[in-house]
Amino acid sequence: MSAGMGAKVLERFPAGCPRGSWPAEEYAARRRAEGQPATVVMDLEDDAFLVVVPAAEAD
């Protein structure tokens, strides 16, 4: 899976998580702790949060 602007999607999370739950941010934080420059972005069409890394870093 790829996202726009040269990013690779690592994981998808539904936007309707329970209040106080941030699974996409937690997942991205774990990837950053491992050295990956993970970022969370919103996919408005699918109502989901995506954890992405730059395509060059994902290869």
Average pLDDT over residues 6-35: 91
**Overall average pLDDT of the 4-24 stretch:** 85
Buried b vs exposed e over 12-25: b needs ≥16 C-beta within 10 Å?
A: ebeeeeeeeeeebe
Q: Is the pLDDT of residue 2 over 90?
A: no
DSSP helix/strand/coil, 41? strand
- pLDDT recorded at residue 17: 76
pLDDT band at 18 (very low <50, low <70, confident <90, very high): confident
Chain mean pLDDT for the chain: 87
Q: What is the pLDDT of residue 21?
A: 82
